[in-house]
Amino acid sequence: MRAIVIGGTGHIGTYLVPRLVRLGFEVVNISRSKRDPYHLHGAWKEVTQVQIDRRSEETAGTFGKKIRDLKPEIVIDLICFTLESARNLAESVRGETQHLLHCGTIWVHGPSVQVPTTEEAPRRPFGEYGIRKAAVEEYLLRETRLGRVPATILHPGHIVGPGWEPLNPAGHFNPEVFARIARGEELLLPNLGLETVHHVHADDVAQGFERAIANRSAAIGESFHVVSPAALTLRGYAEAIAAWFGQKPVLRFADWHNWKKTVSQEEAAATWDHIAHSPNCSIAKARWALDYCPRYSSLEAVYESVGWMIEHKMITV
């Protein structure tokens, strides 16, 4: 079976493409450059690489046709961020593909009301990213109900894995936070540190896509959370990282107004996005419908990423 993966050398595709090859799929990877995946794997030798700049091709009105011309039986779109992009692709492969899988985000939910949040919770997204992704989800599920495109949406949490910096206990991406904890230094957290973040290892997201393909009849027309089994509070996250480094946590807290003055504007914006969402999502639906079984807890996924940063001297212990 021929599977087209759009954006296959990114975080998720690094793990997903080898999974598909092992399962016997004929895999075509679409990317705008010839960059290597985060981790090399022998399976990539069997992958057909096609270089397409999605943005420029969409502007020219030719992207969807180029995907259709590749004769896809399965299309996995890992880099769709707007309704216009989703519509262009869906209309182009209508009647040509057996399954269109879209990578969404748990931020389609906005602030939680009851946790853990299920896929059936009303959508109340805020911020450009969440609002756009929610619009794509609504469109694709409607197209499926109308019998036009057999689509599935998978919503990852904060993706982590070796090769890039994980979301840290302060709610942003500066690796110095991990270094401070490793050295036993004080870490200032916003509010009481009780807001939540919900990580997932990139390979577990890849597993979610694999399971959705394998359980096509249960997956089509549905959305699924693909996250770790449990979210973390910022405080609990910091304490666990300190213990991992053999340190006692040295934490102090400040209200948001004062805390944001202690970091850069970029870091403050990232933290606000994460604590305002405070995601805590259920994977019960993915477990029973897809047999999704994440290998990593949130902390196990982060430990692997932090170990990679130490190895590459991105943080000084």
Q: For 253-308, what is each residue's pLDDT tens digit?
A: 999 999 999 999 999 999 999 999 999 999 999 999 999 999 999 999 999 999 99
pLDDT band per the 50, 70, 90 thresholds, residue 250: very high
**Overall average pLDDT of the 175-184 stretch:** 96
pLDDT averaged over the chain? 96
Q: Which long-range contacts (CB under 8 A, 24 or more apart) does 58-66 make?
A: 58/84, 58/85, 58/88, 63/88, 63/89, 63/92, 64/88, 64/89, 64/91, 64/92, 64/93, 65/92
Going by pLDDT thresholds of 50, 70 and 90, the confidence category of residue 36 is confident
Per this entry, what is the length of the chain?
A: 317
- Residues 127-143: pLDDT tens digits? 999 999 999 999 999 99
Say how far apart CA 5 and CA 77 lie, in whole Å: 6
Distances (CA, A) of 115 to 230, 281, 302: 11, 7, 22
Q: Give the pLDDT mean for 13-19.
A: 97
Distances (CA, A) of 147 to 47, 85, 150, 220, 270: 31, 20, 7, 11, 39
- 177-201 average pLDDT score: 97
pLDDT of 206 above 80: yes
Straight-line distance from the first to the last Cα atom of the chain, in angstroms, rounded to the nearest whole number: 48
pTM of the entire predicted model: 0.97
**According to the model, what pLDDT value does residue 184 have?**
96
Q: Is 15 helix (H, G, I), strand (E, B) or coil?
A: helix
Report the distance separating Cα 142 and Cα 148, nearest Å.
Answer: 9
Q: What pLDDT is stored for residue 316 in this prediction?
A: 81
Rg (CA), the chain: 20
Q: Distance between alpha carbon 267 and the CA centroid of its chain, in Å?
A: 20
DSSP 125-140: --SHHHHHHHHHHHHH
